[in-house]
C-alpha cells in the first residue's frame, strides 16, 4: 500500500501537529507501507534534517516530496492565494500518479481535503480524512461557520473512510453528517516509545515544579493554571510554550505577584520538553471545556504518561477516553480554579499516591505508541479497501 500524506505547510515546525504527522508517517513506513510525505520546506532543509529535528532516522519506505509553496508571511504575487500554489502542485502530482494501484491519500487539512474532493475526477485516488475537530463548532469566526459546515459536509460525505482522534468526535461526525454507511474509526494521538529523557523513576523530593507544555490559547486553560498558583504557596510553575499570548500571560503572572514562582521557557524543541519533564512533580492538562477541547486528544497527555510524571487533567472527553480518575490521573472540573488547585494539592501532599499515578500512566502509555497507531491505521485501511 502506498500512502500519499500531504502537509500544506513548510517543515520542520514545532507545533504538535507536525510532531504527530512526522511520527505517524515514519511509523507507517516502519509498518510496511510506502509513504510519500508531500510538503514544503524551509530553504536548504533536507529530508534527513527534518527527520533529525524529530529524533528520527531515514527509512527506505518514507520519502519526502517537496512541492512549491508560498509561506504565510510572504507576499503572494499576482493575487494568487497562498494555499492554491501548493494545491495546484499537489494536483499535478496526483494526476501524474493516476491509475496506480493500492494508493490512498491520507489527509488532515480540511481546505486541502476539500480541494482533493472537488478535483477527484482528475486523479481518481481515494481519500481517507483524519478528523481533529468540527470546525463550524470550534471556530471563533462566526462569519465562517456556514462555509466550514459546507466544506466539512462535502469532505465527510465524499471520503472513502474517516479516522477521528477521539470517540466523541467520531460519534458527532457520524450524527452530524449522517455517515452511517462511511467506514469510521477512532485512533487517538500517540507517543514515541523512546521519548528522549523519558521514564525517569519518580521520586517527588527530587522534583522541582509543576509543569505545563503546549499552546497558550485561552481554551488551553493556562490562565487558570497560573491563577491556581495563588492557592499553592511555595510551589513553582514552569510553562513551556510560545506564541502571541506569551507576553500577556507573563504580565498576568507578574500582576498577581507570581513573577518569581511562574517561569516561562518560551517555545522549546521537542527533546527539551522531554528533559523538563524529568524534573516535574506534576504535569497538567488544564483545558477549558469549550472550543477545540471538546474534541482534543492532547499530544502532551501521552508524552506526560511516557515520561512517568503524574497527571492532573481537566475532565474533557479526549482525556477521559484515555485516563481514569484516581488510577492514572487526577481529574478536576474544567474552568474551576479551586478544583484545579485541590487536584494539584492532592498529589503534592501525597508523594506515594503521586508515584502510583505516575507508574500507572507510564504503563498505559505503552498502549499508545506510534507503532500501535500505525498498525491500527494500516489495519483499518486494509479492511476498508480490501474486504
Residue 81 pLDDT greater than 60, yes or no: no
For residue 139, the enclosing domain spans 2-190+369-386
129 located within any domain? yes
Residues 291 and 231 both lie in one domain: yes
343 and 224 in a common domain: yes
Q: Is residue 195 part of a domain?
A: no
If you average pLDDT over each of 201-215, 247-261, 287-301, which comes out highest? 247-261
E strands present in the chain: 2-11, 34-41, 62-66, 103-107, 127-131, 161-164, 184-186, 209-213, 237-240, 262-266, 280-285, 311-314, 330-332
pLDDT above 70 covers a percentage of the chain that reads 95
Question: Which region among 89-98, 263-272, 276-285 has the lowest average model confidence (pLDDT)?
Answer: 263-272
Predicted pLDDT of residue 196: 57
Tell me the backbone φ, ψ of residue 62, rounded to 5 degrees. -115, 125
- 374 and 320 together in one domain: no
pLDDT tens sequence across 12-23 = 888 889 999 999
Q: Are 134 and 275 in a shared domain? A: no
Q: What confidence category does residue 305 fall into, taking pLDDT thresholds of 50, 70 and 90?
A: very high
197 found inside a domain:
no
The CA distance from 319 to 302, in Å, is 10
154 plus 117 within the same structural domain: yes
User: For residues 130 and 25, what is the distance between their CA atoms, to the nearest angstrom?
Assistant: 13
Q: Are residues 166 and 297 in the same domain?
A: no
DSSP reduced 3-state for 32: coil
Helix (H) or strand (E) holding 109: none
376 and 266 together in one domain? no
Q: Are residues 212 and 342 in the same domain?
A: yes
What is the DSSP-derived secondary structure letter of residue 161?
E
| Domain match, 6 and 85 both | yes
User: Are 160 and 303 part of one and the same domain?
Assistant: no
* Residue 198 is assigned to a structural domain of this protein: no
Give the confidence band of 387 by pLDDT, cuts at 50, 70, 90.
Answer: low
Residue 211's closest CA among 347, 56, 318?
347
Quote the pLDDT of residue 135: 86
Which CATH number goes with the domain that contains 310?
3.40.50.2000
Tally of structural domains, the chain? 2
Of 209, 232, 205, 202, give the one whose Cα is nearest residue 342: 232
Whether 199 is in a domain gets the answer no
* Residue-level pLDDT at 74: 46
Write the pLDDT tens digit of every residue in 109-155: 999 999 999 999 999 999 999 999 988 888 878 788 899 999 999 99
Phi, psi of 345 (to 5 degrees): -65, -35
Query: Does residue 119 sit within a domain?
Result: yes
pLDDT band at 205 (very low <50, low <70, confident <90, very high): confident
Q: Do 92 and 183 belong to one domain?
A: yes
Q: How far is the C-alpha of 152 from the C-alpha of 113, rounded, in Å?
A: 9
Is residue 59 located within the same domain as residue 160?
yes
The verdict on residue 246 lying in a domain is: yes
Q: If we measure between CA atoms, which residue out of 242, 234, 210 comes closest to residue 224?
A: 210
- For the chain, the C-alpha Rg in angstroms (whole number) is 21
pLDDT of 385 reads 87
196 is a domain residue: no
Q: Are the C-beta atoms of residues 133 and 295 closer than 8 Å to each other? A: yes
Residue pair 82/72 in contact (Cβ under 8 Å)? The answer is yes
Amino acid at each position: 500500500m502506498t500512502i500519499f500524506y500531504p502537509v500544506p505547510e513548510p517543515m520542520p515546525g514545532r507545533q504538535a501537529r507536525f510532531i504527530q504527522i512526522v511520527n505517524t508517517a515514519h511509523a507507517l513506513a516502519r509498518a510496511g507501507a510506502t509513504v510519500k510525505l508531500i510538503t514544503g520546506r524551509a530553504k536548504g532543509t533536507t529530508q534527513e534534517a527534518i527527520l533529525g529535528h524529530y529524533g528520527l532516522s531515514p527509512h527506505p519506505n518514507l520519502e519526502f516530496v517537496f512541492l512549491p509553496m508560498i509561506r504565510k508571511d510572504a507576499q503572494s504575487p499576482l493575487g494568487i492565494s497562498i494555499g492554491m500554489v501548493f494545491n495546484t502542485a499537489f494536483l499535478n502530482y496526483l494526476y501524474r500518479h493516476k491509475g496506480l494501484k493500492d494508493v490512498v491519500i491520507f489527509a488532515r487539512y480540511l481546505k486541502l481535503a476539500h480541494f482533493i474532493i472537488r478535483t477527484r475526477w482528475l486523479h481518481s485516488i481515494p481519500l481517507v480524512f483524519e478528523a481533529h475537530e468540527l470546525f463550524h463548532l470550534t471556530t471563533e469566526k462566526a462569519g465562517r461557520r456556514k462555509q466550514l459546515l459546507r466544506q466539512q459536509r462535502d469532505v465527510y460525505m465524499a471520503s472513502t473512510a474517516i479516522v477521528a482522534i477521539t470517540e466523541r468526535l467520531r460519534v458527532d461526525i457520524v450524527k452530524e453528517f449522517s455517515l452511517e454507511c462511511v467506514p469510521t474509526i477512532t485512533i487517538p494521538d500517540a507517543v514515541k516509545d523512546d521519548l528522549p529523557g523519558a521514564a525517569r523513576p519518580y521520586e517527588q523530593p527530587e522534583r522541582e515544579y509543576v509543569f505545563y507544555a503546549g499552546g497558550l490559547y485561552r481554551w488551553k486553560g493556562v490562565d487558570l493554571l497560573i491563577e491556581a498558583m495563588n492557592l499553592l504557596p511555595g510551589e513553582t510553575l514552569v510553562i513551556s510554550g510560545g506564541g502571541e499570548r506569551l507576553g500577556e500571560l507573563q504580565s498576568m503572572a507578574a500582576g498577581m505577584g507570581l513573577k518569581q514562582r511562574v517561569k516561562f521557557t518560551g517555545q522549546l524543541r521537542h527533546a527539551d520538553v522531554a528533559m523538563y519533564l524529568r524534573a516535574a512533580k506534576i504535569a497538567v492538562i488544564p483545558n477549558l471545556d469549550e472550543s477545540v477541547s471538546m474534541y482534543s486528544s492532547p499530544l502532551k497527555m501521552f508524552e506526560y504518561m511516557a515520561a512517568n510524571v503524574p497527571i492532573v487533567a481537566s475532565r474533557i472527553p479526549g482525556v477521559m477516553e484515555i485516563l481514569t480518575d484516581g488510577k492514572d490521573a487526577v481529574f478536576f472540573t474544567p474552568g474551576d480554579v479551586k478544583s484545579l488547585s485541590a487536584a494539584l494539592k492532592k498529589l503534592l501532599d501525597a508523594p506515594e499516591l503521586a508515584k502510583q499515578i505516575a507508574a500507572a500512566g507510564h504503563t498505559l502509555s505503552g498502549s499508545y505508541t506510534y507503532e500501535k497507531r500505525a498498525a491500527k491505521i494500516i489495519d483499518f485501511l486494509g479492511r476498508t479497501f480490501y474486504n
